[in-house]
Structures are given as C-alpha cells and as structure tokens.
Chain A
Amino acid sequence: MADLSIDFAGIKSPNPFWLASAPPTNTGDQVMRAFDAGWGGAVWKTLGNPIVNVSSRFGGIDYGNTRMMGLNNIELITDRPLEVNLREIREVKRRYPNHAVITSLMVETKEEWKEIIQRAEEAGADGHELNFGCPHGMCERGMGSAVSSEPKVLREIASWAVEFATKPVIVKLSPNVTDIVEPGEAVLESRAHGISLINTIKSIMAIDLDRMVPLPRVGNASTNGGYCGPAVKPVALHMVGELTRHPYIAKLPISGIGGISNWRDAAEFIALGCTSVQVCTAVMHYGYRIVEDMIEGLSDFLDSKGMKSVLELRGRAAPQYKNWGELDLGYRVVADISTDKCIGCQLCYVACMDGAHQCIHLPGRTEEQARKAGHTHIPKIIPDRAVTAKGGTPGGRVPFVDEEECIGCNLCQLVCPVSGCITMKEVPSGKPSETWNDRVQRGADFVPGGLHATEIERAKRSS
C-alpha cells in the first residue's frame, strides 16, 4: 500500500485530503467527525471578527438528472465568537495531534492580523490560510477576493502574516482575476510558504422568473455568490497548471481546490503539481464518508502505477501542460465507433453534422439523400451495420465515420452516452511532426487564403 502522508511546507498530514474552509469545518464536532471518517486535515471555517449572515445562502445548478453540478453561496466567514472557535481548535488538536488543523483567517488591519495569528497559534493551529478569495460580501469591505485582485495589497498583507506567524502561511487565491500568475508572484514576493486555489467564482445561479429576483434569494433581492462544485474543476485545474509551470511559484507547495469529488479528481490535481487537495461541495452533498473512496482509490491507483508514495505522483503531468504553439501539428486521431457497443442513438451523427465536420454518415441512404442531409463529401462505401449491443435500438444502424474527412475533434466521443463506445485512434497524418513555433522559426507560419493586407505586409517584410 502506497504511503499517502504528506508534508505541506512543514504541515504534516496522514493523507493529502483536507476539508476546505467552509460549512463542513464550521465546528470542532464536525472536524472531529471528519477526521474519524478519514480526512487528513481541515482548514477551519474562516476566523475573523464575527459577522451577520443572511437567509437563504446557497444556490445550485443541475444538469439533466444530476443535482448540484455547481453550487454557489453567499455565506460569510464564521458567525461564531472567536473564543468559541479557538477553544474547539484546541480540543481538536488535543484529540487529533497527527491531523492537520489549519486556520483560515480574514481580518483588515495589521494589528488585527497580528492578534488573530497569535491567538490561532496559541490554540494549536498547524498553519494559517489567508482567505484572499471569497468573492461575495467580504470583498465589498476590502477583504477576501478584493485582496487577490490587488497584488500589491496581497503582498503587503501576506508579508505581515509571515512576519507574525511561527507556523506556515498559505495564501488562498481568488480565481476572479485576469491572470492568476500575478497574485501568484505576489505570494512569492511575500515569502509566504504555500498557495491554495481556487476560491469560488463570482456567479449568479439563476433567476426566479416569477419574482424576477436572482438566486439565491434573500427577500426581494440577491447578490453575487461564490461558485464551486464539480463544474468549476476545469477552471481550477487551469489555474493550478499556470502556477505549477511557473519556474519559481512551482517551488511552493500548492493545495488544489475546485470541484474535487473523488479519488480520480484528487489524483489529477496532484499529478498537475498539488501537494494536498481540499474538498467542500462534494462533502456538502454526500457527507464526510466520501473520503473512504478517495483514500482507497488513490492508494490502489498508486499501487497500480508502481508508485510507493503520493509524492511520486506529484507534478507528473505538469510538464505536459504547454502553450498551443508547442503542440505537434503532425499528430492525428480519428473517431472509431465500436459496432459491439453502439446502441443506435445517433447523437454522434447530429453533433458531427451540426457541430463539427459532417464526417459521420447514417447507413442506408442514397447519395442523393446524403447530399440533401448536408454532406458534401460522400465516401465510396458506407457499410450498413446493424446495432448488436444488448439493449440497443432494434433495427438501429451503427453510424459510419469517414476517416478521410474526420479531423479528430473528439466531439462524437464526448456526446456518446456509452462509455468506451467511441474511441479516438491514432493514425498517420502524412505530415511532419512539428509545432507552430517550429514553423515560426523556419518562416512557415503563413497559411494561404487569408487577408490581402496580411499578404502585402508579409511580402514587404521578406523583401
């Protein structure tokens, strides 16, 4: 069994699975139940001067039958007295000395930062996470995400924290910025010890069309909330990737956050360079119990890859995140529809016809019918293959991919409801293996058929 334990800038944890600062880490009782379920660490619900909350607070977005693909919230930081939180932190650390307890903090003035860091450390916190991410409510008061969007302010406050803290300081970044590298570099300059990201994304969940009020609704109005859940995972992965490919920021440990719901999501964040991962929405949906599958699945995955420790996985995929100009233009895949698995729904056909390159054909048509349907390139033979999958449509036909025309876009594979039915197979493209950057280098970055002005400009340059 692979070793899952981690050391995050000196914060030790039995596994990389931490609860993010949010409702699941609101109280000591909750955090202890989470540790009993298997969570390795918890970032406490953000401490600061107590606030007043509104009702209601959450909004969800469903997709088809899937509930809560995304969630947003307009809840603020902890509404409980600081002393109560600190007493509970002390108790949790006494009972669970080997688990990581990190205090998320959000205050305004230098004096406040000094006091809250000292009091958190006295309570036994293993580290601090500076909440520069919340994009609702607190940012209107100059805190939360307002800090992430001002790198200079971020650097200054983070340096105070580093100055006052004896424990590691992690800066939690907001995704509500144009370029995540800017706040990332500010963290670097502040000498903080680690970064966590992403916090939630500014969002309005929906509109109540009867009341004409956005959601979640508070009386007759709403405000923007912070968006999270499985739907934000791609945004989070991108921002993590931007930091882990940065030559200097990548040296800081990163705690990945954003839509992580199972072991596979976690493994992906770690492969992209994260040392720990944080989870909130999946726990809010299904409870602390999901960590069992995360621990077991990650451990089995590491075993299957011959990795003895989760550290061996960290960053494995990071070097393969590149700029477009570095991609191989000579690489080619085409779609391959399994005749055994196809159930005859023809969703790939319509996606290709209307959303891609019209290279999937329905069998049994005359050339005239095919042209009328919109095909301009008709292959010589379109095999008429019956659907044979169990449960497939009786009388259904398997669509046919015209490989000559297929550009390998993946769309058909993405819409196919049967996992493993459409695969993308590598085929020789007949083109040399080269990138756009290579072409720029050798002066072949010009594709005929464009604007006259460009052609004239180019001719002038080369003469």
Chain B
Amino acid sequence: MTHHSPHIPDVEGDRLEVLYEDKKPPYGDAEAIAEANRCLYCVDAPCIKACPTAIDIPTFIRKIGTGNVKGAARTILSQNLLGKSCGQVCPVEVLCAGACVYNDWNRDPIKIGRLQRHAVETALAEDPQLFKPKAPTGKRIALVGAGPASVAAAGWLALEGHEVAIYEKKLLPGGLNTLGIAPYKMKVEEALQEITWVLSLGNIELYQGVEIVPVSGSPEEVSASALLQQYDAVFLGLGLGPDSRLKIPGEDGGGVVGATHLIERLKADPTLRFKGVDRVIVVGGGNTAVDIAHELALLGIETTMVYRGGDHEMSAYEHELASGRVDGMRVLCERSPVAVLRDNMGKVTGVRVIRTEDKKPVAGTEEDLRADLVVVAVGQSRMTEVARSFEGVELDTRGRVIVDPKTYRTGNPKVWSAGDCVNGGKEVVNAVAEAKIAVTSMHAFLMGTEKGVGA
C-alpha cells in the first residue's frame, strides 16, 4: 500500500480548467428562495419519477422556501449522497426539470439542479455533520475504484457502521466525476470537496495509486483473491476503460487523442496547452464528443464534430448540442473518417472522410477536412481484466459485469457491482442509484437483515 490516507493531493499549476466560467453559477440565498417559491409542491410529482435516485424534490424545495435548508439537504442526501454534484452535472433537462409540470404550461421549469446544489452546499458549509454513523458492525468491505458508484456506496456503508476501504489506481479519486465533467459544470476541486465530505461520514480509508490485479507483482498492486480473503464483501465500481480507437490508417502517433483522456488532461494536467492547434476534429456523436468539442470551442479553437449518422441519430443530448453550437462548436453529420492525414514530418494535417447514407459509406465521396488535432470519442473499452480476476464474476458479450438487477450482486456471492462497468456508461446519478441497490443488498447479506441502507 503506497497511500493510506483520506487526504486528497492538491492539483497544482494553471490547469486549462480554471479558464472556464460556471454556466450555472451557485444561487445566492435570495435567488434560491425566489426560485423555490415558484415550485408548485406537486403531489406524486413527475420530477421525482424522473430522478433515478428518486429524490423527493418538491419536499426539499419547499424546505428551502421555509428556511429549512438543512432539512432540504437531508431530503436530498438521504436519497443521493452525491446530491451536490448531481445538482451540477445531471442532465436535468431530460430528467427532473424535463418532467416539471411547468413545461406543459410553456413556463420555465423549476431550476431543480441549481436549488439542489444550493441546499447541499449551504447546509454542509454550516454543519457538515448532517448524518452520524451507526455503531461499528465489525464488517469490512473493499471497494474497487473510487468513481461515483464506489464513493456513494462507501458513504452509505460507513453510515451503517461498516469499515470501508476504497482502492483507486489513479492519484485522484472520483473517477469521471472528478476528471470527466465539463469544466463549465463542475471543477476538480468541487468534486474532491464532495468526496472529502463523504469520506468523513464514517470509517472509510482511501488507498490512492493502488491497482487491483489478478496476481500482485508490486507494492502498488493488490490481488483480487487477497481482497476476497481479507474483506467480508467486495464492491466493483470499475467504471470504463481507455477510449476506443477508430482503427483507420494514420491513427497511430501524435495528434490523435482519446476524448476522455483529453478531458482528464484539460481538467487536471497543468502542462496541457493547445499551442499551434487551430482546428480540431472530434469524431463521434455522443455526449463525450459534444463535451470535448464544446470545451475546445470555448477555448477559441475551431472545432468540428464529425458523425457518421444523421443529426437526429446522435446519442448526445439535444440541449448539449444546442448549447455547444451557441458557443461556436460545429457539427458535420453523415461523414465517416477513413484516414488520418499527416505531412511528411508525421504531423496531423486533417482527416479524410467519406459521406454516408444510413451510416454506410457512399463510394467516391471522400473529402479531406483540415485539422491539427483529432479527438476520438467513439466509446470506451471495458475493464474486463479486473472484473474477471474476481472468481465467479461474469461479463456479457459487451464486456459489462453481469449482476442480478434486483440486487446488483454478481456471480460471486461476496461481490456486488454497479455504475458504468455494469450499465455500459450512463450518468453519475445512475451510478449512485445502482450503488444504493447494491449496498442495500450487501448490507442485508452482511447483517442477516432485510433492512436497507439510507439515513
């Protein structure tokens, strides 16, 4: 074990992330009260049904209105321990706010995400000890990966009195919540601050820079079998692996980079600069593609998304596409990359694309697009090796961990799993919702009870 500390290392230097302004800055008290009083306090509310973690939204908003902000935070966090970051990063337009009854009346939906962030930030700044852990149970649980699923799971398990250890191979915990969120939504420090709060909820150790492997060969590695031996239960919050590749000529070498890798550097690597990069092509039509294209456009770089399907076929959210376009991002549909072009020095000069119809190339329609940098956002690989190193854990044909959907328990009765490694890549809020099901089942197993977790 190299790191044994709830301490989170500071990120240093001028990271590009700091250049971005919050698109939804925190509410002041007056704004929050005015917005809260707009809420109708619906019954059987559609916003609750649209929230994967089923936060009682009208109740927490009413509590903001009555000045009971602490109670509002309790209502949020008892359903979703990462309620603060979810308030910032959730695609509320397609979840809670998208379901608000005001939409049907052509009035602005309630700004639920911003109210949620306000409530949690205000309450925790006043009193971080909103919840107290139960008496120690003597049970020990290991969590693999420190992404949103594991962090939420760790918090709930610690509140139940369990002894929890999180193993994270990176130096910064938080997974995509720390290193993958568009910087105009949430910054690294904000994500880390939330994790620090969750770690303070009970007996939680965070081991940073430690990798779980089939067979341990160095002090920075722990074997899966050792975890299964040393702990009463194991939670796999593995997330996704490195960016997938295009598998086209010219892709190897400098000037071609994976989207999540680039976002991570933009957020946390002080050495990253886009010197000499005037034009970027982003390949892909999903939310990661829109995120990086939008982020680069905001830096003043001419950025074009290239997608092989039609406009309406993109899996990216419409509101994200619209927002990116407002900030100058371009979108080129029905084009498929066939080669990355380089000059005789090997420097990237562009991408050769071919027109498509129904996502199939149309012969003889190649054209060359200029670019100094190519960003590949066509999905991420799966963490199959780590998952398979736990005996009994099985994967489906797409490399996702197979779980019982009622309990999120894997083929190994001591192992549960949730988040992107199970669902193939969804929102933070889905990871938290799944993690709650998993730890509820795990807790019942450990204690021989049917009672669930939750403050």
The chain A residues found within 8 Å of chain B, CB to CB, are 262-264, 286-287, 289-290, 292-293, 296-297, 300, 341, 390-391, 417-421
Contacts and interface: CB of A to CB of B under 8 A. Distances in A.
B25 interface: yes
Contacts of A290: 62
Nearest to A418: B30
11 contacts: A264-B66, A286-B41, A287-B43, A293-B63, A293-B66, A296-B68, A341-B28, A418-B30, A419-B29, A420-B28, A420-B29
Nearest to A65: B38
Given A262-B66, A264-B67, A297-B71, A292 B28 contact: no
Where chain B touches its partner, the secondary structure class is helix
B196 interface: no
A341 B27 CA distance: 12
B25 A390 contact: yes
Nearest to B33: A419
B59 A421 contact: no
A417 B62 CA distance: 19
Contacts of B71: 292-293, 296-297, 300
B30 A297 contact: no
Contact of B59 (A262, A292, A419): A292
A391 B67 CA distance: 23
Contacts of A296: 63, 68, 70-71, 74
Nearest to A390: B25
Contacts of A263: 66, 68
Given A297-B66, A300-B71, 10 more contacts: A263-B68, A264-B67, A292-B71, A293-B71, A296-B74, A297-B71, A417-B34, A419-B34, A420-B28, A420-B29
B74 A419 contact: no
A286 B42 CA distance: 9
A287 B43 CA distance: 9
Nearest to B67: A264
Given A341-B30, A419-B33, A420-B30, A297 B25 contact: no
B108 to A, nearest CB: 13
B123 to A, nearest CB: 10
A297 B74 CA distance: 11
Interface in B19-68: 25, 28-31, 33-34, 41, 43, 59, 62-63, 66-68
A306 to B, nearest CB: 14
Contacts of A286: 41, 62
Contacts of A292: 59, 71
A300 B33 CA distance: 19
Contacts of A418: 30, 34
A48 to B, nearest CB: 33
A374 B68 CA distance: 43
A419 B31 CA distance: 8
Contacts of B74: 296
B68 A300 contact: yes
Contact of B68 (A287, A293, A391, A419): A293
B294 to A, nearest CB: 22
Most chain B CB inside 10 Å of its own CB: which residue of A287, A292, A341, A391: A292
A290 B29 CA distance: 22
Contacts of B66: 262-264, 293, 297
Closest 9 CB pairs of A and B: A297-B68, A262-B66, A296-B71, A419-B30, A418-B30, A293-B63, A300-B70, A420-B30, A419-B33
A300 B126 CA distance: 12
